[in-house]
Structure 1
Amino acid sequence: MESTNNELHFVFMNYDPEYERLRSSRTKRGAHELHLYLSKKHDDLLANTLEPGSYKKTLSLVIVDGFAVEITDDQANVLRSAKDVRLVEKNQELA
């Protein structure tokens, strides 16, 4: 049975030398460039992997080169097999 419920997942990316270079820049401009770079990189990955309008990216995580996205379990499996993705984890509600 295909899952149609969108749930929050965290996607973490593989090592990226450009991310490391930008992250090591301790300037305000460097931080801004890093945010723009990651946001575009994450948006491009989603646009090239999933159906437009079928997901909602909620934030990019600058500290770990990852992002949060509302997707189905099936979409999470598709992202897991994407070239630059290291890990896809469903958000676990803490009791």
Structure 2
Amino acid sequence: MAKPQQEVYFVFMNFDPVYERLRADRCRSKEGSATLDAYLSHKHDKLLAKLLQPDTYRKKSSLAIVDGFAVEITDAQASILRLAKEVRVVEKNQELA
């Protein structure tokens, strides 16, 4: 049986007051930026681990400017993420030809 094709999706999160506070603080110090990056990476990893089976996805990056992340997943996994209360939008990356 063929393994379902994975593609890159962007996942954007719902409003998070902790993220908003850390984002405002990041401009004030280098430590603030590192704290924001660490918070988002952990938050995004935790969401993926809660909803998807281990070793079935690959997170590419967390996006601090928008509280989102890029992840390689299948269409079925994207549908699962769309149903999560923490998630605002899941969009497939549309590469330019």
TM interval, shorter chain, is over 0.9
Residue of structure 2 in register with 1:92 after alignment: 94
Correspondent of 1:34 among 13, 31, 36: 36
Residue of structure 1 in register with 2:14 after alignment: 14
Query: TM-score, normalising length from structure 1?
Result: 0.95
Residue of structure 2 in register with 1:80 after alignment: 82
Q: 2:85 and 2:47 mapped to 1: Cα distance?
A: 9
Deviations 1:9-33 (A, max 9, x none): 0000001000000000121111000
Deviations 1:60-82 (A, max 9, x none): 00100000000000000000001
Q: 1:5 and 1:75 mapped to 2: Cα distance?
A: 11
**RMSD of Structure 2 on Structure 1 (CA):** 0.9
Q: 1:29 and 1:19 mapped to 2: Cα distance?
A: 15
Could you tell me which runs of 5 or more consecutive residues in structure 2 were left unpaired when the two chains were aligned: none
Deviations 1:24-53 (A, max 9, x none): 012111100000000000000000000000
Q: 1:93 and 1:66 mapped to 2: Cα distance?
A: 18
Amino acid at match of 1:29: E
Q: How many residues are aligned here?
A: 93
Q: 1:33 and 1:93 mapped to 2: Cα distance?
A: 31
- Identity, in percent, stands at 62
Residue of structure 2 in register with 1:49 after alignment: 51
SS at match of 1:87: strand
